[in-house]
Amino acid sequence: MSVMKKRFALVLVVALALAASVRSQDGENPAPPAAPLVTPRILGNIPDGTPPPPAPPKPAFVVPPSDILATTTHEQGGRTITIRKIKPIELPPPPDLAPPAANIPNPTPGDGAAASGSSHPGARMLSLGATVYRFKDSPPRTLVQYRPQPEAEAITFWSSADFTLISGIQGIVAADGLTYRLVMAWSTTDTTRGTAASASGGNGPVPPGMPDFADGPATFTIVGTPPADPTVLGPIQSLHDVYNSEYQRLKTAYEGRERVRIQHEADLKANPPKPKNITLNYWRTEKPANDKGGNK
């Protein structure tokens, strides 16, 4: 290679390096690669009706007889309400307030908060309203309203998943690695009773038109116009992925919750709780604090 060619090659390399440096200073670097996808999973345990461990007993509140200044009693609803004026008690200072949730960053796939099932301060909300329709000779279908953001328009979709099973999920890690806490209001409608009511002239629950779902894993179909930004459906797809992969676990947990609920209702019916007597204590300080209006 001649000297002239070597000099030209050197100048070209320097020019390319300077151009890259200018682009870097101007903020024109290419966007960082997207976070790798993860397998959607359930956060924490699924309630299955197993009672939680008993809470430690609270310390008894005992007032010495010499500190009771006045006592009155009232009978109400089969119980006795005792009101006692007592000598002032020194109260502990109030606990420090927790930092606002807005100041806590959303967890990334490697964060302990995303991997833990107990506390997810940076989790996003997955707000749903679901009505599960049950049929005599076919699987249940669920009509769902989903609002990606509080101010966003609701997205309605039909799902072949039974959302009564999903009701036990507290949160998920979606395919994008973000944590979502599930907040869902749900109900069920028995179309068998609705059909009978309609045949007799009543206004029983009749489901609106729904799409035909093929046999196989649960999926969903948007009602009306799909959202302009399809990425908002990512958490919904991840929720269905979790439902399909954890179906038996979700079903077993739901059946356990139902057994406990039915037994609890039967116990309450057989042995209705009796009202308990209540004792209320109060005291007055010598120097009451000023109210917000400045009155003394």
204 secondary structure, DSSP code? -
d(CA 164, CA 140): 10
What residues of the chain score a pLDDT lower than 70?
A: 1-36, 98-122, 194-208, 286-296
Q: How are the residues of the chain apportioned to helix, strand and coil, as percentages rounded to the nearest 5? A: 30, 20, 50
d(CA 11, CA 13): 6
pLDDT at 99: 60
CA dihedral 214, 220, 223, 229 (to 10 degrees): -140
**Domain parsing of the chain, residue ranges:** 41-49+115-270, 65-91+276-282
pLDDT at 252: 97
What backbone phi and psi angles, to 5 degrees, belong to 13?
A: -65, -45
pLDDT at 194: 53
What count of Cα atoms within 13 Å lies in the side-chain half-sphere of residue 248? Answer: 0
d(CA 242, CA 248): 11
Q: Note the pTM of the prediction, 2 decimals.
A: 0.65
Is-contact 182 128, C-beta < 8 A?
A: yes
